[in-house]
Amino acid sequence: MKYLPLAISILFLASCSQDEVLDELVEPVAIANMHDCHEHENWDPATVRNTLEGTWRWMYSVCDGEADFERFEGITISFEGVNSLKFFKDGELIEETEWNLKSEDLIFRIETEVESVLLSGDIFFCNNYQLATSSEECKQMFYREL
């Protein structure tokens, strides 16, 4: 009987599409909290590389205090292998490049062959969220895809 709630949750999740599950599980992360959350972990280049590995879905941008949920809708980025980076729009490959991780005083940045608005600036992590802050004062929020 004590496992009944768990069984019901599993049945519910199994009956939903991935997007429906993500909509239920993904809570908006306050950008203001990302830096503090990031600071609770011990980050080094190897840990950041391992954390980046996989696919990240763009969630929203904030520029000059204004949130935008449409500008890069449908964009995912995939960090694969040692330095391979792929950009997808609605599942279709739109760009492929190489990337390097740069760090200074344990602040990390992603550098790509061609500058990317999506990944410019410092990066921070909190659970399955990644925040990229650009020099233009825009912030891009991503969620790791399951």
Residues 6+ apart with CB under 8 A from 54: 78, 79, 144, 145
How far, in Å, are 55, 67, 88, 92, 143 from residue 61 at the CA level?
Answer: 18, 6, 17, 21, 12
DSSP 47: H
> How many CB atoms are closer than 10 A to CB 102?
12
What band does 29 get if pLDDT is binned at 50, 70 and 90? low
How much is the average pLDDT of 68-74? 92
DSSP 35: H
Structural domains of the chain, with CATH: 28-144 (2.40.128)
74-87 pLDDT, tens digit per residue, is 999 999 988 999 99
pLDDT at residue 41, rounded to an integer: 81
pLDDT higher than 80, residue 6: no
- What does pTM read for this prediction? 0.75
How far apart CA 85 and CA 8 sit, in angstroms, is 38
95-120 pLDDT, tens digit per residue, is 999 999 999 888 899 999 888 888 88
